[in-house]
Chains A and B, each alone.
Chain A
Amino acid sequence: MTGRTMLAAVALATLMAGSAEAQISVKLGVLNDRSGVYSDIGGEGSVLAARMAVEDARAQKIIGDDIKVEVIAADHQNKPDVGSNIARQWYDQDGVDVILDVPTSSVALAINQITREKNKVFLNSGAATSDLTGTQCSPNTVHWTYDMVQLANVTGGAMVRQGGDTWYFLTADYAFGHALERDTAAVVQKNGGKILGSVKTPFPSNDFSSFLLQAQASKAKVIGLANAGGDTVNSIKQAAEFGITQGGQNLAGMLVFVNDVKALGLKTAQGLVFSETFYWDENDQTRAWSKRFGERLNNRMPNMTNAGVYSSVIHYLKAVAAEKSKDPQKVLARMKAMPTEDALFGKGSVRADGRKMHDAFLLEVKKPEESKGDWDVAKILAKVPADQVFRPLSESNCPLVKKS
C-alpha cells in the first residue's frame, strides 16, 4: 500500500504545482447506489450527468482551461457506514472537493455531517429527507432536486386543486411512511380536501390486496401511496389488477420516478399521479439534453435526480469560475448569492438553508394508446411555482435561518 501513499504524494505535488500556475483542479465524487434498489434512480445515470455537466461547462465557456475537473464515482450500497467511509477517504486522502447525488436518506444525512466537519461541499440530489435543509441543515450542503415537503405539497396540494379532494392513504408502517402520510394529509386538508381514512401496511409487503379493497370501498377520489421502492411498485401492480384507476379512482404515488413508471409499463401504471421536479419531455431544451443523455446510456431518459446532478455541477462550476477559487466557503456563498440558470431547471436560486428553489410538476401516467414513444410515459398536469413547492423560510426549523 505504499504505492497508494506515493500516488497521494504525487497527486499532492501536482496539486501544488497546479496552484503555482493559478490552476484550479476540482474533483467531483458521485456517491450513490450502483448495485441495489436505487441504482436505476441514481447510479450510472448521475455519473453521466456529472460528466456531461463538466463537458458542457467547458463547451459553453463557463469554465476556462485554468480549471481542471475530474469526476469519480463509488457505490455506497445504501449503507451509511460504507458511504461514510468512502466520503471520509475521498475528503482526507483522495482530494475530493464535492460529493454529488447520494440517494438514501440515512447515507445522505451521514455525508451531510462529514462534509460539514471537513468543510467541503455536498450537493445532494438523490435523497428525499427534508431534514437536510431542516433540523440538520448545514452551511456546506445544498439540497438540489426534491424533498418530502415538495412531494407532499405538489402531489397533495395540486391534486386537490385538480378536483381530487377526498383521500385514502395506504401507508407503509414505519417512520418514513408515517411522516409522508402526515405531511401529505396536512397539505390536502389545508387545500380544502378531506381524508377519509388510512390503513397501515406492513413493511415491506408483497400482498396489498386487502388494503386496496379497503381503499376502493372508501370511495375516496384519490388513493395516496405513502410508501417507497418495492412497496410502491407492488401496490401499483396490484391496484391495476383490481382495476382501481379504471373504476374512477386516482392513484397518487408519493415517491415515484419516471424510471419506475417505465419499469411498471403504461398498462399497469396508467392513471398514476406523481410529482417530479424535472420531466425530460417538458420543452425543447430538456428534450435535446435528454436525447444526448439517452444516446450515451442505452436510450434511457434521465429522471429528476440525474438532471439535478447536472444542474448542480453547472452552478458549482460557475461559482468556482467566478471566485477563481475552490475555497468551499467562498464558493458556497457565491452559489447562494448568484441566481441559478440552466437548460434543465430554468431559473432558480439557492436559499440560505441550502434549499435549491425551482418549479415542480404534477405528472400523470399516460394510457398506452396516448403514448407516442418508448419513454413518452407521462403528461404534465400542472406546473407548481417554486414558492408553493418547498417549505417556506418562515416555517423553517433550520438553525442557519434563525441566526440571520
Chain B
Amino acid sequence: MANATTAGAALPADTNIPTVLHEPRGTASFHLKVFIGIAVALVIAPFVLYPVFLMKVLCFALFALAFNLLLGYGGLLSFGHAAYFGMASYLSAYSAKVWGFSPELAILTGTATAALLGLVFGAVAIRRQGIYFSMITLALAQMVFFFCLQAKFTGGEDGIQAVPRGRLFGFINLADDRVLYFVVAAVFLFGLALIYRIIHSPFGQVLKAIRDNEPRAVSLGYRANQYKLAVFVLSTTLAGLAGALKAIVFQLASLTDVHWSMSGEVVLMTLVGGMGTVFGPIVGAAVIVAMANYLATLGAWVTIVQGIIFVLCVLLFREGILGLVARWVKRPL
C-alpha cells in the first residue's frame, strides 16, 4: 500500500506531501484488517438483516464514498451530485427495461452516462472555487432535474417502473434478493477498493496537496485544474455506479434520485460519517438510511430526528463518527 517511500518515489523529489506524514506506521496493515472486517460483515449481514435494506445501504454508501472522494480528498463541495446518481439510475433503468440490456450492461450504461455528464459539468464547474463552485454544480444539477421532469423517457413524476432485474452475465438470476445482495456487495467492495487505491496513489497525494493549498501545488508545477477535473469525473462515475445499481435493486428510477434534496442527503451522510476518512461515509450512509427506514413509523419525526443528529454531530464531533473513532484508535480510518 501507499507508504511514505513509494509515494515519494513516484513523485518529483522536491514535493513534500503533508498527508503522508499523518499516517503512522502500520496503517496499511491496519486498513487491511478493516477491509477484511468489512468483507466478513458483508457476508454475514444478509443472514441477520433484511437484504433489500442492506442493498440500499450499500448503494448509498457507495454514493457517499464517491462524494467523499471529491469533498474529503479534493476539497470540492459539489452540491449537485444527485444529478449523476439520478441520471445513471434513469439510464440504467431505461436501458434494462426498454432496450432489454442485461443488468451488467445496463449498469455500465448508467455509469458511463454519469462519467460523461461529470466530464462536461466538471469542465465548467472547476473553473471557479469555493461557494461559486458549489453553486455552479447546484445550478447544473437543477437543469438535469428539470430535464428529467420534462423528458419523455423518464416518465415524469411516475418514474420508470417495473425494471427487470434480469440475469447477470446471462446465467445468474438476480430475482433472488440474496443473490442480488452478493452482487451489490461485490460491486461495493470493488468501489471501496478503487477509492482507497485512488486516495493512496500519487494522484491522491497531489489531490490532497491541492486541497490543502492550491497555489502552492500550482507553483510546484502541478496543473491543478486537470487534477480537479479528473477527481470530479472519478467521483461522478462512482456516484453513477451507485445510482445504476440502485435502479436494478429497486427496479425503478424516479425523480427522488435527481432532486436536490438527494444532493443534500449525501452531504449529510458524508459529514455524519466523517468527511475525509476513507470508511466514514459507509457509517454515515448506514446511519441515515437506517433512520429513514426504521423510524418510518414515526412519520414527521424522521426529519426532525435527522436534523437533531446532524446538529449534534456538528456541535459535538465535527470530524464525524469515524473521525471520532479514528482519534480513539489513533489511526486514520
Question: Counting CB contacts under 8 A, is A174 at the interface?
Answer: yes
Residue A176 CB within 8 A of the other chain: yes
By beta carbon, the residue of chain B nearest A88 is: B52
A35 at interface, CB cutoff 8 A:
yes
**Cross-chain contact A5 with B48 (CB below 8 angstroms):** yes
In the bound complex, residues from chain A placing their C-beta under 8 Å from that of B152 are 175
Question: B150 near A173 (CB under 8 angstroms)?
Answer: yes
Please measure, in the bound complex, the distance between the C-alpha atom of A173 and the C-alpha atom of B297, giving whole angstroms. 34
Q: Is the CB of B297 within 8 A of A43?
A: no
- Whether A110 and B161, one on each chain, are in contact in the complex, defined by CB atoms closer than 8 angstroms, is yes
Q: Which residues of A contact B252 (CB under 8 A)?
A: 80-81, 84, 106, 109-110, 113
Contact of A80 among B56, B159, B301, B302 (CB under 8 A): B159
Tell yes or no: A39 within 8 A of B by CB. yes
Does the CB pair B255–A106 fall under 8 Å? yes
Closest-by-CB residue of B relative to A86 is B296
Pair A75/B50 contact, Cβ less than 8 Å: no
- Whether, in the assembled complex, A206 has its beta carbon less than 8 Å from a beta carbon of chain B, the answer is no
Cβ of B299: which chain A residues have Cβ within 8 Å of it? 34-35, 39, 43-44, 73, 75
The answer to whether B254 and A174 have CB atoms under 8 Å apart is: no
Q: In the complex the two chains form, is A113's CB within 8 Å of B256's CB? A: no
Q: Is the CB of A39 within 8 A of B158?
A: no
* 3 closest cross-chain pairs (CB), A and B: A175-B156, A34-B299, A35-B300
**Measured CA separation A85–B251 after assembly (Å):** 11
Q: Which residues of B contact A12 (CB under 8 A)?
A: none
The reply to whether A175 and B296 form a contact with Cβ atoms under 8 Å apart is no
Contact A85 B56 (CB under 8 A): yes
Q: A73-B297, A81-B250, A82-B292 are in contact. Are A175 and B155 (CB under 8 A)?
A: yes
Contact B302 A72 (CB under 8 A): no
B246 at the interface (CB under 8 A from A): yes
Asked if A79 contacts B296 (CB within 8 A), the reply is: no
Known A-B contacts A35-B302, A85-B52; the reply to A109 vs B296 at CB < 8 A is: no
A-B contact count (CB 8 A): 116
Complex interface residues of chain A between 1 and 32 (CB less than 8 A to chain B): 1-2, 4-5
Bound form: Cα–Cα A92–B54 in Å: 14
A35 contacts across to B, CB distance below 8 A:
299-303
Q: Is the CB of A81 within 8 A of B56?
A: yes
A79 touching B256, Cβ below 8 Å: yes
Interface string of A89-124 (1 = CB under 8 A from B): 100110000000000011001101100000000000
Most B CB contacts (10 A, CB to CB) among A82, A85, A109 go to A85
* Bound CA span A110–B246, Å: 14
Q: Quick check: is B317 within 8 A (CB to CB) of the other chain?
A: no
Provide 21 A-B residue pairs closer than 8 Å at the C-beta atoms, listed in order of the A residue. Answer: A35-B301, A43-B299, A73-B299, A74-B296, A75-B300, A80-B159, A80-B250, A81-B257, A82-B292, A82-B293, A85-B250, A89-B50, A106-B157, A106-B158, A109-B158, A109-B161, A110-B251, A112-B161, A131-B158, A175-B152, A175-B155
For residue B314, CB closer than 8 A to chain A, the reply is no
Residues on A with C-beta less than 8 A from B50 are: 88-89, 92-93
The distance in angstroms between the C-alpha atoms of A174 and B257, with both chains bound, is 17
- How far is B50's CA from A112's CA once the two chains are assembled, in angstroms? 21
Contact B296 A110 (CB under 8 A): no
Is B298 positioned at the interface, with any CB of A under 8 Å from its CB?
A: yes
Q: A76-B296, A89-B52, A176-B157 are in contact. List 7 more A-B contacts (CB 8 A).
A: A5-B48, A35-B299, A75-B298, A77-B296, A106-B157, A136-B161, A174-B150
Q: Which residues of A contact B157 (CB under 8 A)?
A: 105-106, 174-176
> Which chain A positions have C-beta within 8 A of B177?
88, 92
Would B161 and A85 count as touching, CB distance under 8 A? no
Q: Hey, what's the 0/1 contact readout for A32-75 against B, CB within 8 Å counting as 1?
A: 00110001000110000000000000000000000000001111
